Structure 1
Amino acid sequence: MTAAEVVVVGATAAGVCAAVAAAEHGAQVVLLAEGRHLGGMVSGGLGYTDVGDVRVLGGHAARFRRDVAAHYGVPVGRYAGPEPHVAEGIMRRWLEEAGVEVVLDAPVDGVERDGTRVTAVRTASGERVGAGVVVDASYEGDVLALAGVTTRVGREDRALHGERFAGRREIAPGRHSMPWGVSPFRDDASGEREGALIAQLAPGPMAEVGAGDGNVMSYGYRLCLTSGPDRIPFTEPDGYDPAYWELGRRYLAAGGADEPAGRWLGLEPNLPGGKCDANSLGPVSLSVLDGSARGWAEGSREQRADIAAHHARHALSFLWFLSSDPAVPRGIRDELARWGFAPDEFADTGHLPHQLYVREARRMVGEFVLTEHELRAGEVPGDTIALGSYHLDIREVQRSFITAWEHPDPRSHVVNEGYLSVRVPAYGIPYRALLPRAEEATNVLAAVCVSASHVAFSSVRMEPQYQMLGQAAGTAAALAVRGAGEVHAVDVGVLREALAGDGAVLRVV
């Protein structure tokens, strides 16, 4: 049996930072990676990283920015992020320098408990890893759930925390919204006669405005593309179904034809080497809005594999639709022909990223729940262990339809629901948000699926903040193992002093 003082589950950027921080503070550390890659979304396609106010980025988040700049020989901040393979290389070096034992291909599927303590985690291969303190740095919060920690998936009711932006959102116009006049009905482009729905709509009716419905932000793949001469052209994927993109054709007919290719994919060389981090910028995009993401958080590995494959098919078929469909304007098709997959990225996964963009899965319900109230007020509590600053950024949740009961012919129209972008001041993320309830688990910390509402999490979820949360969790874990191994007993003053000594920014200047 392997054993370690600190076991970090999940080789996301938060997991890497947690493992490195714990090791640098003297703990023996094992990092369990679900697959063969390190860095999560930071090395998995999310190169052009949202940061908010750079002045609040400290610790390992700032260190990462410095290392990126040093790699390319440019000033800090010249690039919002590196090429994916460079990001993974930096994180691999950090782990090696810190002396962290990394175990690849080690998804966790069980834990052993003694009262409120997790004494060991078990991998799918049957390996047992004894643990003093466990940091759950996965995007899914699997260890939290296995340990009996209360978690929540999806949107809460607006009344639960009294949050203005909670629950199902009102339908409103915007760049991420569908134009009026796109019929949801497969056999009737006018929207007048109800019938079977076209592809890419969520099943079932939407909840009432403000109601909690358990839905999560949509997922997708962030693609690394290039316009260089060595690009790998887009080709027709196996099983391509033109009917899947009837939504795209109807959007084009309703006004989407006036949008440039960049509004569909974000085609601009925003990464070093002339590469681009293709993003979801319009109402029809790489994001999948058919509700399939809802099954990810609590799904089995097999179910998650099916969901990931569905999203991969969506991404590949989207590229082919924009490249080849006669309904797509010639200008967009010509622009797509200038781009292709970067040959030196994700070669072992067919040039699709190794990480699905899981924007939100489980969220812990811990000792304290961070809500939109604290964020919008810019509160910085006394146990702050990192600062956040990115706006409330809820990506589209679902695609459905509504019926306009207008004389003489009522018509139904496709709508995208859930998008929200609201600025917030810099705010503090308290240590309490990393802690499960003491009666549930006393040696477990959350570094990603922290205790926050859906609305608050939409800001917390940015990767630089995950890096800082991971560093805080790893540092706290190392401090805990010096004592009785109980994370609730960590002296927050000592923790904050240690973080500040490592470059963390803990107050708003």
Structure 2
Amino acid sequence: MIARIDTEIAVIGASLGGVLAAWQAAQQGLRVLLAAEYAWLGGQLTSQGVPPDEHPLIESGGASASYMAMRTALRAHYLAQPGFRDNTAMTEGCNPGDGWVSRLCVEPAVAAEYIEQLLAPHIASGRMRILRGVRLCSAQRAGRTIVSATVIDGEGLRTDIHAPWFLDGTDTGALIKAAGLPYRLGKEARSEFGEPDAPETADRNDQQPVTVVMALRREASASAAAAEAPPGYAFWSRYLVPHYGYAQFSEYIPGSGRGQAVRLPLFGSGATLDLWRYRRVVSAANWQPPRSEVSLVNWAQNDYALHPLLDGGMDEADVVAAARELSLCLLHWLRTEAPRPDGGAGYPELALAPDVLATPDGLAQQVYVRESRRIIGLACLSQADILPGGATATPGSDADSHNVGVAWYNMDIHPTVVSGHGVNARVRPFELPLGSFIPADCNNLIPACKNISVTHLVNACTRVHPAEWLIGEVAGLLAVFALGCGQPLAAIHGSAELRAAFRQQLRAAGIPLEWDRALLARLPDIQH
């Protein structure tokens, strides 16, 4: 027997964007169903174990009001803990883990609890229902309209979800594929959008690598005798990164240009950038008495780039299993062979910390997905739209009237799985166009996370936490607006009056529609 649920807005997938889409829709008083596969809601911030990747202005703005409130609340949580002392040295602001890649290195469990509290009032009111432990298995479409989506739980129970609006909140664009809609994936050819860094030939398999994050705790002494090497260790311990030439298991990571490498020691002190403090979420110096340090290992060393995650001929589950083995192989190398400054080898004091990620083995509940299937939208944001020195839309212009949010992050592409090419290039702070949220071939689907209409290159900028959070909010509010006005998405996109009304709703919800020029003026060293 198949159960049936009817709702007004169905969000399939509890990624960070999916959660915020559901929250904003419920905030506006609509009935929302959120289908969640993993124990923790929130995707990259929680179940994937990745502290926020943010832009340099985040302490002052450039994100939605609710994102800024989340940052304040997480810091307040730590500051209220007995024994916590803010001795942040690596970044500005209170940084609980004092990691250097993020100004807000927090334990994923703390972020997961914040999300639960954020949604709790809407669950209590009955406006929101969460189906937990379910994954999408199919979608039914009649012409340009999705009629229902079917999810299945761990015991094989299927549930048909019916709604006038469906939001794809999966990290992989699974609903887009299940509905049989066209989508972009991997790299576009340079001829499609004239992007300077695009290849001559498109390749859907040339995707960003995935990573299974692991939580490592550093004890005062060896935690246990070295375990037997994982089956793939002989391969990975000898593997050389294509086009870079250094060993996968080493102190080197890709630099900003193709083929360039940078050395980061495993452990450093002072201002020296190192791997351990990269995404450290528990800093001994921030606790009295000191706690054992914990770092979330999401390094180049455990990026899995042998096969694409999506549509590449290898099942997603098999790719994830291979990525898990890579992380375990890296752990074995760290414990037994990693070079020490004293000339020795190995750090046996490093051990998996299952409590940090709420898993039996200390590996993340979900693989970290950098690149999704992406809708083919009424507009597609490309590299040309975000290059440094490019012109921003004049306030009040037609182009400006299409803006529905802001984003900014370096074009951070890890060496991809076919060409092996990576890049970390500067871009200017930019705006997201409404057309990137509207599929050209479907009446009632809205992308809510990494699956908006952008190119492979731009996805490298919009995939990060503040951008995905905002994208989710915009998606949820767009569904609410469309349901309220009764107009098709294309009509909203094409009407100056409807766009203005929607933008006003976004402003009221705390979504910045364009960059604050006074804020940008603080960045004299970049072109914007």
What is the TM-score with the length of structure 2 in the denominator? Answer: 0.76
Counterpart of 1:337 in 2: which secondary structure? Answer: coil
CA distance in 2, matches of 1:399, 1:329: 33
1:25 aligns with 2:15: no
1:308 aligns with 2:320: yes
The residue correspondences of 1:445-464 to structure 2 (distance < 5 A) are 445-448=446-449, 449-464=451-466
**% same residue:** 22
Counterpart of 2:188 in 1: which secondary structure? Answer: coil
1:53 aligns with 2:53: no
Q: Report the Cα offset of residue 418 of structure 1.
A: 1.5
Quick one: which of 362, 369, 379 aligns to 1:368?
379
- Residues 7 and 29 in structure 1, CA contact (< 8 A), matched pair in contact too: yes
Counterpart of 2:54 in 1: which secondary structure? Answer: coil
One-letter code of the match for 1:141? G
- Residues 392 and 422 in structure 1, CA contact (< 8 A), matched pair in contact too: yes
More displaced 10-residue stretch of structure 1: 111-120 or 3-12: 111-120
2:133 matched to which residue of 1?
105
Query: Cα gap change, 1:331/1:97 in structure 2, threshold over 3 Å: closer, same or farther?
Result: farther
CA shift digits 1:150-190 (9 cap, x unpaired): 201111111211100112xxxxxxxxxxxxxxxxxxxxxxx
2:520 matched to which residue of 1?
none
Query: Cα gap change, 1:338/1:102 in structure 2, threshold over 3 Å: closer, same or farther?
Result: same
- Residues 378 and 426 in structure 1, CA contact (< 8 A), matched pair in contact too: no
One-letter code of the match for 2:165? V
Q: Report the Cα offset of residue 314 of structure 1.
A: 0.3
- Residues 385 and 469 in structure 1, CA contact (< 8 A), matched pair in contact too: no
One-letter code of the match for 1:501? A
More displaced 10-residue stretch of structure 1: 84-93 or 222-231: 222-231
- Residues 407 and 466 in structure 2, CA contact (< 8 A), matched pair in contact too: no
1:473 matched to which residue of 2?
475
CA distance in 2, matches of 1:109, 1:443: 19
More displaced 10-residue stretch of structure 1: 228-237 or 384-393: 228-237
- How many residue pairs get matched? 441
CA distance in 2, matches of 1:469, 1:101: 21
Q: Report the Cα offset of residue 46 of structure 1.
A: 0.4
1:270 matched to which residue of 2?
280
CA distance in 2, matches of 1:26, 1:232: 51
CA distance in 2, matches of 1:70, 1:18: 25
CA distance in 2, matches of 1:237, 1:15: 38
Quick one: which of 401, 410, 416 aligns to 1:397?
416
Quick one: which of 238, 252, 257 aligns to 1:246?
238
Counterpart of 1:101 in 2: which secondary structure? Answer: strand
One-letter code of the match for 1:244? W
Q: Report the Cα offset of residue 344 of structure 1.
A: 2.1
One-letter code of the match for 1:426? P
Q: Report the Cα offset of residue 333 of structure 1.
A: 6.5
1:297 matched to which residue of 2?
310
CA distance in 2, matches of 1:248, 1:379: 42
CA distance in 2, matches of 1:230, 1:442: 59
- Residues 445 and 473 in structure 1, CA contact (< 8 A), matched pair in contact too: yes
CA distance in 2, matches of 1:320, 1:265: 19
CA shift digits 1:121-160 (9 cap, x unpaired): 1113321011121110111111112223220111111121
- Residues 445 and 487 in structure 1, CA contact (< 8 A), matched pair in contact too: no
- Residues 232 and 342 in structure 1, CA contact (< 8 A), matched pair in contact too: no
Q: Report the Cα offset of residue 232 of structure 1.
A: 6.2
CA shift digits 1:185-207 (9 cap, x unpaired): xxxxxxxxxxxxxxxxxxxxxxx
The residue correspondences of 1:318-329 to structure 2 (distance < 5 A) are 318-325=330-337, 328=339
CA shift digits 1:316-352 (9 cap, x unpaired): 0111023213x85575866733433234212334110
Query: Cα gap change, 1:40/1:489 in structure 2, threshold over 3 Å: closer, same or farther?
Result: same
Structure 1 or 2: more helix by fraction:
1
The residue correspondences of 1:71-470 to structure 2 (distance < 5 A) are 71-73=77-79, 77-79=93-95, 80-99=104-123, 100-124=128-152, 125-167=157-199, 210-214=200-204, 215-228=206-219, 235-236=227-228, 238-239=230-231, 241-247=233-239, 251=246, 260-262=265-267, 266-268=275-277, 270-273=280-283, 274-281=293-300, 285-290=301-306, 292=307, 294=308, 296-298=309-311, 303-325=315-337, 328=339, 331=342, 336-376=347-387, 377=390, 379-380=392-393, 381-398=400-417, 417-437=420-440, 440-448=441-449, 449-470=451-472
Structure 1 residues without counterparts, runs of 5 or longer: 168-209, 401-416
Q: Report the Cα offset of residue 272 of structure 1.
A: 4.0
Q: Report the Cα offset of residue 235 of structure 1.
A: 3.7
Counterpart of 1:41 in 2: which secondary structure? Answer: helix
One-letter code of the match for 1:359? R
Q: Report the Cα offset of residue 461 of structure 1.
A: 0.9
Counterpart of 2:359 in 1: which secondary structure? Answer: helix
Structure 2 residues without counterparts, runs of 5 or longer: 81-85, 87-91, 96-103, 253-262, 284-292, 394-399, 493-497, 517-528
CA distance in 1, matches of 2:201, 2:234: 35
Q: Report the Cα offset of residue 260 of structure 1.
A: 2.3
Output the aligned Cα RMSD.
Answer: 3.0
2:98 matched to which residue of 1?
none
- Residues 166 and 446 in structure 2, CA contact (< 8 A), matched pair in contact too: yes
One-letter code of the match for 2:120? E
**Higher RCO (Cα < 8 Å, 6 or more apart):** 1
Q: Report the Cα offset of residue 52 of structure 1.
A: 4.3
